[in-house]
Amino acid sequence: MELFFDLVFVAFVGQLAHGIHGNPGFPEFGTFVLLFFPAWWAWVNIVSVINLLPGLTSRSLGVAMLAAMTAAALMAAAAPGAFGERAWAFSLANGALRILLLVLWLLQHREHSPEPSWRIWVYNGGTATLWLVAALLPLPAAVALWALSIAIEVTMVANSNRLGADRSMAGINIEHAGERLGLFVIIVLGESVFSIVTEAAEYWSPGAGLAAALGFMTVALLGWAFFQYGMGTLSAGLEHLRERGDLTGILQTTLFLPFILIVGVTSLAAGIATAIPAPFEQLPLGSTIAIGGGIALFYATNAAVSSRYGQPPRTVLAWGVPTVVLSLGLVPLGATQPAAVVLGLAVGLWVLVTAYVEINARRRIRSP
C-alpha cells in the first residue's frame, strides 16, 4: 500500500518538473521548490508515522494510504495553478493530509507514549487548521498561512530534543526508513526516464536520439551511484546514529537533506528534457543551471550525509569538493558549447567518479 501511495508522487513530480523546462529563472525555480516542499514534507511525515506503527493492520494501513493518495492526487492536480485559481484546492489537499496525520499520530501516541499529546495537536491539528483556513482566503494571505504552517512544523521537528519527542526514537525501523527513501528516489528517477523517452519520441531524429542516450546514461549512472554506494551508506549511517542516540542526525539525513538531493535530480532531468529537441544548439542559461546545479546538489547532499554519518572529513572532501566544482563548471560551458557536448561532459564526470569509487573499493578489499 505504501508503494501504491508513492505512485501519485510520480504525477506530482512530473507536474512540477514541467515548470522548470526550457529557460527557467529564479521565479520558476522558486515556485518549484515552494510547491514541492509541502508535498515532500507530507510524504516524510506519513512515512515516519507508519514506521513507528508496526502494529497497524494491513486494512488500516490500506485505508490510510488511500486517503493520503486521494489528498496527494488533488495536490498534484492543483500544483500547476497553486499560485492562481487552484490555490484553494492546494490548501484543501494539504489540510486533509495533516488531518490524516493527526489521526495516525494520535493512534501512535495512545499505544506507545504516556506523555501529553499537545505536540501532536499543535504539529498536525494546528497546521491543518491553517491550511484549511487558507483555502478560504485570497492568494497573498493564503500563501502566508502556508509559510506559517510549514515554519511551525519544521521548527518543531528541528527542536525535537527540546520538546521531548526523542523518546520514541528507539522504535524507529532503520531498514524501513532506508527502503522508503530509496523507493522515493526510484520514483524521481522514473520520472526522469519518462521525460527523456517522451521527448525522444516527440522529436524523433538522430540528434534527439544522441541527446536522449546521453541523458539516459547520466540518469543511469546517477542511479548506479545512489543504489550501489548510497543505500549501504544510508543503512549503516542511520544505524550508527541510532546507536549514538543522535535524533538530530537521523532527522537531518532522512527529512531535510534528501529533499535537496531530489530537487537536484529533478532539475537535472528538466535540463536533459530541454536539451533533446535542440541537441546541437546552446542551451538556455536556466537549463545549464538545472543540469550543472542539479548534479552539484546531488554530490553536495551526498557529501553532507556522508559527513553526518561520521566519515572522516578528509575522505569526504577528497571527492565532494572536486565533483561539486566540476559540476558547476558545466554552467559556463553551456554558454559556448552545444547541448550534446554539455550532456557528454556530464556523462564523463559520472564515469570518472564511478571509476574512482570502484577502484578505491577494490583496493580496500585487497588490502589486508
Whether residue 3 is found in the same domain as residue 151: yes
Domain end: 171, 195, 227, which one? Answer: 171
Whether residue 1 is found in the same domain as residue 113: yes
Whether residue 256 is found in the same domain as residue 177: yes
pLDDT score, position 335? 83
> Cβ(317)–Cβ(290) under 8 Å?
no
Q: Which class for 343: exposed (0-12), middle (13-18), buried (19 or more C-beta within 10 A)?
A: buried
Whether residue 150 is found in the same domain as residue 74: yes
Whether residue 208 is found in the same domain as residue 306: yes
Give CA–CA dist 256/171, Å, rounded. Answer: 20
Domain end: 171, 197, 218, which one? Answer: 171
pLDDT score, position 163? 46
Domain end: 136, 153, 171, which one? Answer: 171
pLDDT score, position 186? 86
Residue range of the domain that includes 210 = 173-368
Q: Please give the angle made by the CA atoms of 200, 331 and 17, to the nearest 5 degrees.
A: 45
Q: What is the DSSP letter of 205?
A: S
CB atoms within 10 A of CB 286: 21
pLDDT along the chain (368 residues), means of 10: 80 83 88 87 82 75 87 89 92 92 81 74 90 93 92 82 53 76 84 90 93 92 82 78 77 83 91 92 92 92 86 85 91 90 90 81 68
pLDDT score, position 201? 94
Whether residue 125 is found in the same domain as residue 36: yes
pLDDT score, position 167? 52
Whether residue 140 is found in the same domain as residue 180: no
Alpha-helical segments (H) within the chain: 2-17, 26-51, 58-78, 87-112, 118-120, 127-134, 139-158, 160-163, 174-202, 206-225, 231-244, 247-251, 257-275, 285-308, 313-333, 339-366
Residue corresponding to grid cell 564523463: 348
pLDDT score, position 297? 93
Whether residue 128 is found in the same domain as residue 5: yes
Whether residue 151 is found in the same domain as residue 25: yes
Nearby residues of 272 by Cβ (< 8 Å), 6 or more positions away: 192, 195, 196, 211, 215, 218, 219, 291, 343
Whether residue 346 is found in the same domain as residue 233: yes
The CA radius of gyration of the chain, in Å to the nearest whole number, is 21
Tell me the three state secondary structure of residue 284: coil
Please tell me the total count of domains within the chain: 2
Give CA–CA dist 120/48, Å, rounded. Answer: 13
Whether residue 162 is found in the same domain as residue 222: no
Whether residue 209 is found in the same domain as residue 61: no
DSSP-assigned states of every residue in 14-27: HHHHGGGSSS--HH
